[in-house]
Structure 1
Amino acid sequence: MNGRYTIIEDDLSGADIAALLRLHLDEMHQWSPPESVHAMPIERLRQPDVTFFSAWDGDRLAACGAIRHLTDDHGELKSMRTHPDYRGKGAGRAILDHLMCEARRRGYTRVSLETGRPEAFLPARRLYESEGFAECPPFGDYTSDPFSICMTRLL
């Protein structure tokens, strides 16, 4: 439980989570060219290097997010998404706080992410900046891309 939201490790089998991830991918393709979309499809989110969480307000899905294991000391945030009905209501913050706690629990010393550079991504970037994330050079398999921004934070 994180304030008003119950956060669970999610097996990605529910219709609500599938619909939110479909919306996420659709919007990523609306705002960025295909080669700049790095959101993972649901099948990839089920792989063992990714742990996926969802935030619930009673029986309503409010937000989701995942942490991907990169190295023993480095994790990556993936598929951070707030349901449209819960934007501005703390659901995204609740998932981000949970993922940061999970990163610390795993012993990571660094957490990174990739997000979009277009205006539509500004609320997400502001959320990450409020948690101490700052722009960094591309990491992992990411390359320099005018539609993409990489961010990182030391723990």
Structure 2
Amino acid sequence: MEIKLDDLTGTKITRLIGDHLQNMGEKSPPESIHALNLEQLKSPDITFWSAWEGEELLGCGALKELSKDHGEIKSMKTSPDHLRKGVARQILQHILEEAIKRGYQRLSLETGSMDAFEPARRLYTNFGFTYCEPFANYVEDPNSVFMTKKLNIKSLLFKLKLLV
């Protein structure tokens, strides 16, 4: 799998983001949808990556800078044909590594509270994210859960060294 910066202009990524927005619309009430559209994802404070195997799009994820020491995970989505193959895990690992390179002390996210979002919540919990209060401009919402992770640079560098 190759994870690369994406300018959000390709037809495959456009289709995947469209599917992501449609899925959010089916699972969440409009006031609880925090997924970003293509134009919003092109904001200068967001870095967007896509994961590929040859010409096949596997998934995507983004990192939004909230402050010099706090980032937010956005638009994590795995292509339907590649669910449960470790795509989201690898994209999340990539985002965590980038957040640490940037010197972030904390990484946070919002996801749904409904059963359909259980696999996402489990993934984030397995990576050490814990539930927290709303952050940034979010407010309490029964359809949302908020998670955060303090980034420990020393332990991640040790872990990465073991993987090499």
Q: What TM-score, normalized to structure 1? A: 0.97
The one-letter amino acid paired with 1:136 is: C
Deviation digits for residues 131-152 of structure 1, max 9, x if unmatched?
A: 0001100000100000000100
Partner of 2:37: 41
Partner of 1:129: 125
Following the alignment from structure 1 to structure 2, what is the Cα–Cα distance between the partners of residues 106 and 152? 17
Q: Percent identical across equivalent pairs? A: 52
Secondary structure of the structure 1 residue equivalent to 2:85:
coil
Deviation digits for residues 9-31 of structure 1, max 9, x if unmatched?
A: 10000000011101101010101
| 1:146 paired residue among 142, 145, 150 | 142
Q: In terms of Rg, which structure is larger? A: 2
User: Which structure would you say has the larger RCO, counting Cα contacts within 8 Å and 6 or more residues apart?
Assistant: 1
- Verify: 1:109 aligned to 2:105, yes or no: yes
Partner of 1:65: 61
Q: What TM-score, normalized to structure 2? A: 0.91
Partner of 1:118: 114
Following the alignment from structure 1 to structure 2, what is the Cα–Cα distance between the partners of residues 134 and 28? 22
Following the alignment from structure 1 to structure 2, what is the Cα–Cα distance between the partners of residues 148 and 11? 28
- Verify: 1:81 aligned to 2:82, yes or no: no
- Verify: 1:15 aligned to 2:11, yes or no: yes
Structure 2: 5+ residue runs without aligned partners?
152-164
Following the alignment from structure 1 to structure 2, what is the Cα–Cα distance between the partners of residues 95 and 59? 17
Q: Higher helix fraction: Structure 1 or Structure 2?
A: 2
The one-letter amino acid paired with 1:13 is: T
The 4+ residue runs of structure 1 with deviation greater than 3 A are none
Offset at 1:46? Answer: 0.3
Offset at 1:57? Answer: 1.1
Following the alignment from structure 1 to structure 2, what is the Cα–Cα distance between the partners of residues 83 and 102? 22
Count of aligned residue pairs for this structure pair? 151
Structure 1: 5+ residue runs without aligned partners?
none
The one-letter amino acid paired with 2:116 is: A
Following the alignment from structure 1 to structure 2, what is the Cα–Cα distance between the partners of residues 93 and 129? 12
The one-letter amino acid paired with 1:130 is: N
Secondary structure of the structure 2 residue equivalent to 1:47:
coil
